[in-house]
A = this chain, B = another copy of it.
Amino acid sequence: MKLSKKSEYGLRALLELTLVHGKATLQRHDIAARQRIPVEFLEQILLTLKRAGLISSRRGVNGGYILIKQPNEITLGQVIRILDGPLAPIGCVSKTAYQKCSDCPYANKARCPVQQVMGTVRDAIAGILDHYSLADFAADHPKS
């Protein structure tokens, strides 16, 4: 039930971008320094987030990264799904990326006890992470 470093770093990076949203751009090494993330790994993460349409970048002198959505439009759930895949503990209870468990001895979905519990766990996790936006996230942040 672990969150990967990738997602954690991604969330921290987006937090920094949210804090300067509308005011400035941030370069990768700024983000890396403020959140103590290895720069090269961060690059990979930012690239993924860019492909997903959450941020955009500008090259050259005075370049950097910016959010291209409003902070209250991006939920932590979305970010984690982009970086880590589905929130569900097992594939057969994922709503965004369902896949049936080939080896499950219960032909009918409703009959599998594991699936039932994990379904409620999924709903609990998604209920929190899909209703928590970057804006909420930044609001929890101590003022520098």
User: Which residues in A have some Cβ–Cβ distance to B below 8 Å?
Assistant: 1-3, 8, 11-12, 15, 34-36, 76, 80, 84, 86-90, 103-106, 111, 113-114, 116-118, 120-121, 124-125, 127-129, 132, 137-138, 140-142
B76 contacts A111, C-beta separation under 8 Å: no
A122 to chain B, nearest CB (A): 9
B111 contacts A142, C-beta separation under 8 Å: yes
Q: A90-B2, A121-B129 are in contact. Are A15 and B103 (CB under 8 A)?
A: no
Q: Which residues of B contact A140 (CB under 8 A)?
A: 113, 116-117
B1 contacts A114, C-beta separation under 8 Å: no
A113 to chain B, nearest CB (A): 4
Q: 6 smallest A-B Cβ distances: which pairs?
A: A3-B89, A124-B124, A113-B140, A111-B142, A36-B103, A36-B105
Q: Which residues of B contact A103 (CB under 8 A)?
A: 36
